[in-house]
Structure 1
Amino acid sequence: MSGRGTRSDRAVATQQSILAAAEQLFAEHGVANVSNRQIGLAAGQGNNTAVSYHFGSRSGLIRAIVRAHTEQIESIRLRMVEQAEGSTATRDWVACMVEPFALHLADLGVPSWFARFSAQVMSDPSHREAVARESLNSPSLTRAVEEVHRCLPDLPEEIRLERQDMTRQLMIHMIAEREDALANGRPTSRGSWHRAAAGLTDAVTGLWSAPVSTGASDMVPEGAVTGGP
């Protein structure tokens, strides 16, 4: 029993080492530029097949990294959704969409790599969908998006979808830029993750509340100028 327990403990420790090494390497260099051998070496594994042995595939490894963070992010978002219950203020529900990711990074401390990892993976077409399924389809996030839609009932469907994409891009890449600045000792515009999260929430709320230009629909030719400078 103790022997089996020891082997199991070692396997878990090895998996955690691989996850940590892969997350950092993917964050710094991109998924396509990092080999399984590099991940194994960074994790202290001399066996070139350690990654595939423990996670089956590159996609399996990436999903495991996401899952390692999703539970904590979901816990923060569930708490915020409970606090926002009954609110008709768009900002309250936008905060539930945006802030849990940033607040999770505050809990991780400096340096962290998950925001930059997320930006790298979401920019990779071969892995984007798998990550989206793991991280963007949580019940609490779905609820927050539904409530934002309920607060803004007059938005056309195509505008809702467009602004959801904009929100995702802003959330992932702005948070990744701040994480990178903190990790490399560069100044940031906000003194803490909590203030940065609040500022991003303000901006995204403005995005969702922005007016829709007359005729701003699929009928407008691509590339047409419909607004000001």
Structure 2
Amino acid sequence: MSSTALRPRYRPPAAGDLNPEGGAAKAERTRRRLILAAERLLGQRGIANVSQRMIQQAAGQRNAAAVTYYFGSFEQLVIEVFRMRMTAINARRMAMLGDSSPSVMALASAFIVPLAEELMPRPEGNHYLRFLLQYRTDQNFLRLTLPPSLIEGMLVAAQRFVAMRPDLSAEDCEDRCNLCIDMVVHALAVTEMKLEIERPPTADWRRRVEARIRSLEDAVTAILER
């Protein structure tokens, strides 16, 4: 009998035998760590002051090509940060807009509330509003083209505002919408930073977020209605 006959035949592992740290699950965890590290560092420092290497180190990755391996490019990693947060934000915004023509206040709420909900505490921390502020103020960020599916709610809200205000030119409508976006993102980013520093109890945390929502709804409505 040959020695090869004594070797056990290969048996594919059963589902329960799979190493929980291997395969697709491990890859997905690595991707998420890289995305979260990018969100935090880019929100704190801006895209010009963050390297691919810094993100990899913050995510605990020794492989110098981890970002390229998992995302193809640094730019695609940045887009994945948007995708991680904006998918749910956009869905919430579209649900709030509904099929009918909303009031100006309803438009303001549909823009503000889904973003403000990002302020509620998460285990990994809250950094998205500061990341978004960097996107609005950094020309290197603005060169990125976001998938239309992630900003559908914004586009629909802007179109409905134009329909509400036939007395304004399209340029004036766009200018007012951009003014509101910049104001809201800046205000929420500052709130996010203060909440991170102060770490209030959950009840107070929620109260402060709700108060900021009300103030911004009033301010945005005033700009759009004027």
Into which bin does the TM-score normalised by the smaller protein fall?
0.7 to 0.9
Shift of 1:156: 2.1
> Which residue identity lines up with residue 36 of structure 1 in the other structure?
Q
Structure 2's unaligned 5+ residue stretches are 1-11
Indicate which of 138, 145, 155 corresponds to 1:124: 138
**2:158 is equivalent to residue 142 of structure 1:** no
Indicate which of 177, 201, 218 corresponds to 2:217: 201
Shift of 1:17: 0.7
Structure 1's unaligned 5+ residue stretches are 211-229
Question: 1:217: which partner in 2?
Answer: none
Indicate which of 110, 117, 125 corresponds to 1:103: 117
Q: For 1:68-108, what per-residue CA distance to the aligned partner results, in whole angstroms no more than 9, with x for missing partners? A: 011110121122112x8344x21111221222111233374
Q: For 1:26-47, what per-residue CA distance to the aligned partner results, in whole angstroms no more than 9, with x for missing partners? A: 1111111112111111111111
Question: 1:215: which partner in 2?
Answer: none
Shift of 1:159: 1.2
Q: Is the 8 A contact 2:90 2:151 kept in 1?
A: yes
Q: Is the 8 A contact 1:40 1:46 kept in 2?
A: yes
Identity of aligned residues (%): 26
Aligned residue for 1:130, secondary structure, equals coil
Q: Once structures 1 and 2 are overlaid, which stretch shifts more, 100-109 or 48-57?
A: 100-109
Indicate which of 100, 108, 126 corresponds to 1:94: 108
**2:44 is equivalent to residue 28 of structure 1:** yes
Counterparts of residues 38-117 of structure 1 (less than 5 Å):
38-82=54-98, 85-87=100-102, 89-106=103-120, 108=122, 111-117=125-131
**2:171 is equivalent to residue 158 of structure 1:** yes
- Matched residues in 2 for 1:7 and 1:110: separation? 23
Question: 1:227: which partner in 2?
Answer: none
Shift of 1:4: 9.8
Shift of 1:174: 1.1
Shift of 1:150: 2.3
Indicate the RMSD between aligned Cα atoms, in angstroms: 2.8
Q: For 1:133-157, what per-residue CA distance to the aligned partner results, in whole angstroms no more than 9, with x for missing partners? A: 3479633322222222222221122
> Which residue identity lines up with residue 203 of structure 1 in the other structure?
A
Shift of 1:186: 8.1
- Matched residues in 2 for 1:4 and 1:111: separation? 29
